[in-house]
Structures are given as structure tokens and as C-alpha cells.
Amino acid sequence: MRRWTFASLAAAGLLCIGCASTTTGSVTTGGQGRSQLLLVSQQEVMQESLKYYDAQNKEARSEGVLVTSGAEFNRVNAVMQRLVPQVGVFRPDAAKWPWQLVLINEDTVNAHVMAGGKITFYTGIVRKLKLTDDEIAAVMGHEMAHALREHTREKMSQSTASDLVLSIGGALLGVGQGVTQLAGMGKQIALDLPFSRHMESEADLYGLELSARAGYDPQAAVTLWQKMATVGGGGGPQFLSTHPSSGDRMAALQAAIPRVMPLYQAARSGRP
């Protein structure tokens, strides 16, 4: 019992250390910034992200699929450049990040972001879904929100904490290897997938506000996921998916739209 108490206290102490919020909140979340476990340093995450980003770009360049100019690149980049000035609302330091777009000429219906504002779009998501500029902004805002909320750092911190807690618990309690491996398997489903469903939902809401502040129609976030559903973008068992189902996603976005619509209208009234 004492060993279990010590393991519990160690786990609880670990979870308390490094808890903070990376942003100042959002109107879509009631202005409250959720507390996050941030055990891994921002510098470590940036370093690892840049390594992956550089390797990805080198491979794409060698295969002749890295797009750095032209109408399609300019269109997507223009959306990003319009969103970047709004990031300071969520965290002032992000306005100084070297935001950068990479466009890869592949049929993949996907986009992703690296820590620090390195965004990758695949031409497949724009072409196959026939995205409008407002829908591109919905995707872009979602990816930028992952970076603003430092979800990659949070995932790495959760994994680090879980590994250490499992190790402490197993050693102190004398847990057999088979039981520890079973716990690790559960951790893999819960923690080691790219982003949790909660993080994806959070990125949806922050991204919705980001795009609205830039003058892009919030309703486009719903039409985007309607299109994604037609190509299986929201399919699969929700329990084992890192993404919410399309229906849940659209319902949450619809509920949040009235809160960001005044921001959109204000942005539009200030534009020619």
C-alpha cells in the first residue's frame, strides 16, 4: 500500500510540474486557456520539428514535387499571410514566428504543421475537395491552431510523463512484465497517436476564430467537413481515431459559429 501511495504521489507531482497554458484563451472556449502538461521544452520540440521539416522538404525537392511558386502556391500562401497577423490575439510571441508554407504536389488529402509555424499543404486537399479560399482558411486556421497551442509539445510531454509513471509504478509495485506491456499498449492508443481527439476539437475551435478574425467566412469550416466526409476524411471508428467524427465535428463548429460571427463581420467591414 505504501509503495502504491508513493507511486501515486510521484505521478501526481509529475503532472503538476510544467502545467501551464500556451495561449490566452479564445472566445470559442469562453476566454479560458486550458491547462496543459508541458514537461518537454519548447526548444527541444522546435529542434526536432525543424529536423523533420527539413528532411521532408529535401525529399520532396528530390522527387520534384516541392512547389515554391506559381498560382496555386500563391493562393494558399496568401491565405496564410492573411491569418498570421491575427495570431497575436492568442499569444504575442507567435507574431514573431517564421511562419512558412510548403506545398507538395501529391494527391494526398492532408495538411499538417510543425512547431513554430511550419505548415505543409498537399495539392490533393485543394484540388480533390475543390476548396474555396474560405475553406482553405479553415484548414490553415486549424493547423495554425495546433502550433499556437503547442499540441506537439503537449503530446511529447504526455508520452514522457506516461513512460516515467509506468516505469515508477512497475518498479515499486513489482508489476509483472506482461501487465506493464498491457498498460503500455493502452498508453499507445491513448497517447502515442498523432493528436488526441480533444486536441483536434480544440484546434477546430481556435482555427475557426483565427480565420474569422482574418475575414474568412466561419461557415466554410462546416462545408469543409461536409466535403471531407465525402472522401472518407471523417470516417472510421471514433474510438480508435485521433479525429472526431464528421458529425460531431460539424455540430461543435456550428455551435461555435455565432460566437465568432461578430469577429468575421467586423473584419469584413474593415476590408474593401
The catalytic site residues sit at 143
| Residue 148, helix vs strand vs coil | helix
Interatomic CA distance for residues 234 and 94, integer angstroms: 30
Secondary structure of residue 244 in the 3-state scheme: coil
Whole-angstrom CA distances from 38 to 35, 105, 157, 239 are: 9, 35, 6, 25
Task: Enter the DSSP assignment of 31.
Answer: T
Q: Position of cell 462545408?
A: 223
For the CA atoms of the chain, what is the radius of gyration?
20
- Say whether 32 sits in a helix, a strand or coil: coil
Q: In 46-174, at which residue ranges do the beta strands (DSSP E only) sit?
A: 66-67, 100-104, 111-114, 118-122
Q: Which of 151, 137, 157, 144 is nearest to 76 (CA)?
A: 137
